[in-house]
Amino acid sequence: MLYDVVCVGFVNQDIVLKGIAKDALERDSTHAESTLTAVGGDAANQAVVLSKLGNRVALIANMGKDPIGEQIFRSLEQDGVDMRYAIRDKILRSNLSVAVIKPDGERSFLFGKGEGNMDVSMNTIDLSVLDHTRAVSLGSLYFLKEMDQGGAASLFRLAQEKKVLTFADMTGDAYGIGPDGIASVYPYTDYLMPSYEEAFYTCRKEDVDDIADFFLERGVQNVVLKLGAGGCFVKNSGDRFFIDPYKIQPVDTTGCGDNFCGGFISSILAGMSLRDSARFACAAGAINACHLGAHESIQSRDQVTEFMMSTPQSHPKR
């Protein structure tokens, strides 16, 4: 089978609790306005969104055969993600996270690490998949220890040699490897899509141009900087522009960055321009923010296109 995208990263089971005040942990008990149990994790969210947008998607991630792992596996299959490359034999208990949604729609995570080797490494990836895909997306820089320490660079280098596009997103620095810990992957990255906060941690620069230039000077071809409620900023050797955010009332921002990435990757592969791809990505993230959950909202490209036509964009001061 020829895939459009192979997503590499981590997955977990999410328990989402909406309407939790900031001081909830100081009380004996707190009742949520609503709840949701669903598969989460950067790679899983991207894979599901890409599938719903009409792409053929495979997922390379580590999940157990425990009850949580079985639920994750079945759920992703039902969402149209090809799971034949999933890694399932080294985990005793799968990852679990609780996403606490505050009244303003912002969220915090409580993350419970499972038991066993949950990492993804070059030794556990069937590299023949690179002969059967148009793009590979690594959703979890700073979270997959073995990949961060040279594996991601090796994977992307092999991908580029095979004319496969490379996309990467970041998370927080889970292992304390430091701002320079993932520098080896930059020369082999076609599109880097961090949030502003993640990029700031890496380069310690505040101005968006300085941030983009930091990555471009180190070999990244295109920098797509997610600005949350501020839209996004895109820069490469010839283009520089902002995309304004859509006017929405956020309900839950969990997974918005992953939906953005899925929308962006899908649009690039569909032949859309860099600017139009970024605008589509902002719309995908905005749609997700209007509902509970990390990848429950996106259903089709037509849905996103209709949202873009019917929803105005705001114009923040730059």
Report the DSSP beta bridge partners of residue 8. 60, 138
pTM of the prediction?
Answer: 0.92
C-alpha span between 268 and 164 (Å, rounded): 13
C-alpha span between 168 and 141 (Å, rounded): 7
Q: What is the dihedral sign for C-alpha 174, 231, 250, 34?
A: negative
Nearest to 108 by CA among 31, 21, 195, 39: 21
* DSSP letter for each residue of 265-316: HHHHHTT--HHHHHHHHHHHHHHHHTSSSSSSS---HHHHHHHHHHSPBP--
C-alpha span between 177 and 165 (Å, rounded): 26
Nearest to 290 by CA among 253, 259, 251: 251
pLDDT tens digit string along 123-163? 889 999 999 999 999 998 998 888 999 999 999 999 999 99
pLDDT tens digit string along 66-79? 888 888 999 999 99
Strand 133-141 to strand 222-226: parallel, antiparallel, or no bridges (unpaired)? unpaired
* Whole-number pLDDT of residue 59: 97
**Exposure string over 87-111, b if 16+ CB within 10 A, otherwise e:** bbeebebbbbbebbbbeebebeeee
Helix (H/G/I), strand (E/B), else coil: 157: helix
Two structure tokens written together for 15: 């328990």
pLDDT tens digit string along 241-271? 999 999 999 888 888 999 999 999 999 999 9
Q: Nearest 5°: phi and psi at 3?
A: -95, 155
Q: Is the pLDDT of residue 89 over 80?
A: no
* Whole-number pLDDT of residue 116: 61
User: Which CATH architecture does the domain made up of 3-310 adopt?
Assistant: 3-Layer(aba) Sandwich (3.40)
How many other CB atoms are found less than 10 A from the CB of residue 221?
Answer: 18
> Higher model confidence: residue 98 or residue 240?
240
* Whole-number pLDDT of residue 284: 98
